[in-house]
Structure 1
């Protein structure tokens, strides 16, 4: 069966509205914690994009690259994010967040190594690390939802900037 012949997947929001609403509340709480901890919105978008790249989530990549560009992120950094270790485009703080995101996303591959956590602890305080772990956890959950239900990318538009 080719992708174009795929079966229709379940609409989780329609079939399980209470769980979908709880997921939305979890996302809102994670965003609030990150704001309170003063984690830069730009870093949060890099976290979301990088996890979505690893997970192959086209829907989330479409959404979060658009959100990042709407916040002023450059095309160069978005294009290079998959190879962030090999570029000079990211700050040490961003690199620490990206390494932590990769470790959380790929937790099956060596868990979250002490050196990755220590690097994050040098760049962020405990509240910020907690916010980053929640941001990575939430986007990983959303990636799995979008991939499992084959959510179609393309239609999402960021909210207008105030």
Structure 2
């Protein structure tokens, strides 16, 4: 049930989020990691529209359905590399943001695979999808209608 349509948004609001998305794409984050981040965070945030979109985009890009449907239980599988597991742990930590937990141990798991700059970009990617999830859940576009371009 759409509550606020794109045409009802204040001028430039949608572009602000798109600018962040474009910045991240230019940063050169591994597209596989980015798709896993978006899927995992959208699952945590229960954003049906985003789950639909990211699932379809990831399949279109060559990701397997098994890895996508299992991303919520990644610790229980052998489908993800240690590098991917480190990123998924960061995504969960920054999305849940428990007040009694810091991310020191998560950074320790990231350091073998990523530079500080790359960790900063991954952090921004997690922040970005959390923002999109909250924005979309408030606006209320209908899930299931997303079409992948190209």
Q: Which residue of 1 aligns with 2:11?
A: 17
- Report if the CA contact (8 A) 2:5-2:141 is conserved: no
Kept after mapping to 2: 8 A contact 1:52/1:60: yes
Q: Which residue of 1 aligns with 2:144?
A: 154
* Counterpart Cα distance in 2 of 1:75 and 1:92: 20
Aligned length: 150
Deviation of the 1:26 alpha carbon: 1.2
Query: SS state of the match for residue 12, structure 2?
Result: helix
TM-score under structure 2 length normalisation? 0.92
Larger mean Cα displacement after TM superposition, 8-17 or 128-137: 8-17
Residue in structure 1 matched with residue 72 of structure 2 by the alignment = 82
Partners of 2:25 and 2:99 lie apart in 1 by 27
Q: CA–CA distance in 1 between the matches of 2:99 and 2:67?
A: 26
* 2-structure distance, mates of 1:57, 1:135: 16
Deviation, 1:109, is 4.5
Higher relative contact order by CA 8 Å / sep ≥ 6: 1 or 2? 2
Residue 130 of structure 2: aligned partner: 140
Over the residues paired in the alignment, what is the CA RMSD in angstroms?
1.6
Structure 2 unpaired stretches of 5+:
none
1:54-80 deviations in whole A, cap 9, x for unaligned? Answer: 000001000001111111111111111
Instruction: Please give the secondary structure, in 2, of the residue aligned with 1:123.
Output: coil
In structure 1, stretches of 5+ residues that fail to align are: 1-5
Question: Secondary structure in 2 aligned to 1:152?
Answer: coil
Distance 1:87 1:121, change over 3 A: same
- SS class of match (2:111): helix
